[in-house]
Amino acid sequence: MTHPGPADAAGDGGTRVLGVDTSLRSTGVGVVEARGSRLRVIEFAVLRMPAKATLSECLLSLHQRVGEIIDRSAPVAVAIEGIFFCRNMKTALTLGEARGAVIATCASRRLPVYEYAPRRIKQAVVGFGGAEKDQVGRMVSAILGLSEAPPEDAADALAAALCHLNSASRHALLAPEPI
């Protein structure tokens, strides 16, 4: 389910960034718009995949659903959470495949994708790289004026978008090099 922000999604000159917290079964997405120093949520969601869906069905669904969000919200860049250390090789491979589907979707729409380490995202939003998920959710809510914390995966995605907006020059979006 997609949750719209406090204002409509019509383009009005702001800089929009799509944040993505990728996984195969539960991908968080969130679009944040910056106009000067004002920030607002355009939309956020957790893209859930059925437990019985095959890998290829999940990847296709991620591709389609992220593409729909891009088409609807018109971001100028995408901030994606980087891969953290995985002890399980199968989990790491599956996460890489899901990230690949999302990155390819963005590339097909000519959107630059910027990767941020999970600790850097937490540092940008909470002020501490080792922050807990509930702290991230509360700070995302406070920064964006939400009445309650979004679901964890959506909060992480919104945090990635905020990290990019905080890291980038508002004029050229020149944070790190896109991946």
Cα separations (Å) of 75 from 107, 130, 151?
13, 29, 21
- Given the residues 43, 81, 115, 156, select the one marked as catalytic: 81
Q: pTM score, two decimals?
A: 0.88
- Given 21, 33, 43, 156, the catalytic residue: 21
User: H or E stretch including 95?
Assistant: helix 89-108
Catalytic site includes residue 153: yes
What pLDDT does 9 receive? Answer: 41
12-59 residue pLDDT tens: 578 999 999 999 999 999 999 999 889 999 999 999 999 999 999 999
The CATH number of the structural domain formed by 2-167 is: 3.30.420.10
Is residue 134 part of the annotated active site? The answer reads no
The predicted-structure confidence for 50-89, as pLDDT tens digits, reads as follows 999 999 999 999 999 999 999 999 999 999 998 766 778 8
Place of tokens 């992480």: 156
Dump pLDDT digits (tens) for 105-161. Answer: 999 999 999 999 999 999 999 988 888 888 999 999 999 999 999 999 999 999 999
Given a contact cutoff of 8 angstroms between Cβ atoms, the answer to whether 62 and 48 are in contact is: no
Measured between alpha carbons, how far is 71 from 157 in angstroms, rounded to an integer? 18
Could you say which of 33, 43, 115, 153 is catalytic? 153
